[in-house]
Structure 1
Amino acid sequence: MSRNSRNSSSATWKKIVSVYEHLKEGLHWNIENVHKSVWYDEWTPFGKLCNLVPYVHISESDFIVADLWKGVTWEVDSLTTPIPHEIKQFICEKFKFTIWLGLHDALPTETFRFKRHLASSDMCKRCNKVQKTIEHCLRDCERSNAIWHMLDPSILDSTASTALEEWFWKALANNEASFGAGLWWVRRHRCNDIFNTDNPWTDHKVVALARITDKDLQVYRNRNNAFRCELFATWKGLVLAWDCGLRDIICEMDCFDILLIMHNLISGYSYEVTDLVYKIQEILSRPWLVHIEWVSWEANRAADWMARYGTKSNSNNVIWSEPCVDL
């Protein structure tokens, strides 16, 4: 970080330079310290995670960040400790933030920095051919273009030379996960080329990282869909019980996250399930008694059997007054 302040520098930069000596000790990347405790240190925007979970499983009480971060992916779904979905979702927020920065012309490209007197030129430092706009940085530079062609040529073939916003929407509509992962690693590749010249990345490495991230995003989205199905089944079961005139029931489930929702112990749900959460909370607020209990997966095999039975049945609803003989 250069501390020189020229007369042509922006007012913002002059202020930063004037307090640099006071700020430099606090300028660090928290995530680089992978030896922090997952639960008892503040390393996320949420603060200490121990305050956000119902309990920390004893086998994971000494976990550090390095136990969850595997270089390019997080392995939070392997935890026994129940993690609220809004925390898991935060892992994907960096892709959304990159897109947001691009749409608001806020990515620190050379053109962006040159206009604010933070760079001596607005030319791209990678190809030295044209002005480094956001479109050039993320798509049109020959270095970025090569990554897109290796990763998914259709992202460029159908949107060549289009405006940034139109390119974003078309590419997201065609393959949201692949484009989000590619965009993130194209930007990371650019930053590595400029700021880490001693350790350049090959195009094949960047494409491999993007494909791994793409796969993780697909798995994440599928898990969100599965969670929505669990919520829908819970809501539908409560509706059926109410419509049958039952006013004192026991609701057993093996999904701990839904149990926390029904007890109002977590908030900030993913937008994909908010509607179902509100429906469950509404029906629980009615004048009846609903005893919510958690059971292990092994103890909930009857519900699993009925779910499989339902997929093979032509009837909309089947009500048994006593256990089915097949159970």
Structure 2
Amino acid sequence: MIIGCGLHNAIPTAEFRLGRGLALSSTCHRCQNGSESILHCLRECPSAKEVWTLLGLYSDNSNLHDWLYRGARSGDVFLFFSTIWWIWRSRNHDLFNIDDSWSASKVVSLIRSSVREFHTIFAMHQSLSPPSLCLHWIPPPVHSVKLNCDASWFAPSGYAGFGCIIRNPDGCWLKGCTGKVEVCSVLFAELYAIWRGLLLAWESGFREVICETDCLEALFLVNQRMLSKDIPEWDLAKHIQEVMNWNWRVSILLIQRTANSVAKAAASVADIHSNWSQPWSELQHLIDLDMTLAN
């Protein structure tokens, strides 16, 4: 998700926040030398450069789009994007924990751990659930239900909407919930949607549940065996893991965004928290479209 924000120049760096009247200066708080653009934050700042150097990764002088494009086509795309992710997380940690900044070696350790987890999850999905990566929604097996979750960040309000939709093997609506929550990050919003969806499924009496998200970062976090308390979303990810260990069968899978259109539409208009026994007309249209594509 941070990559998509980067391509749209929407990562909330100091330069981004100054341009929207949310900050008084664009100066990088880590090096105090120059404006904190996206490239400065992720590549040019001495703190970021040290991480890239320790990993033995070459840092060029190309523009943001070309740099991300080449990284996406590199030999180890997981390493490239995991490095970007943890440099950004390190930046945020240092901003709010001035007396407890992360060293470059700690960031590298977190990156390598993430890469191992990414490869494990990727291999699992390739071998066990390739249909989950289809471009359209797929009905769940008989005797189970499918829960789709998504979040929509209402920047710069600090709030995000969430949508959780449960359907049966015939593609029919069973339960749904929407709402708005104050969030500290887009990842928190995605995790919150998963957590609320799992609670809805449990409270509705479903015990064979396939939960789907289009957020790889959220999937990665809830599948980590050892969660770092330094991560702001640690507490919420831990709650999700605890819910998954209740007396039921539940799995969380990664899907394409095109296969998550119903939950996305629900999240985009979410306001006060509501439970829905029936879909409204826009959602019903998308549900019908899902079943047309599935058949």
Q: Normalising by the residue count of structure 2, what TM-score does the alignment of the two structures yield? A: 0.46
Structure with higher Rg: it is: 1
Q: Greater strand percent: which structure? A: 2
Q: Greater helix percent: which structure? A: 1
Q: Normalising by the residue count of structure 1, what TM-score does the alignment of the two structures yield? A: 0.42
Bigger relative contact order, structure 1 or 2 (CA pairs below 8 A, ≥6 apart): 2
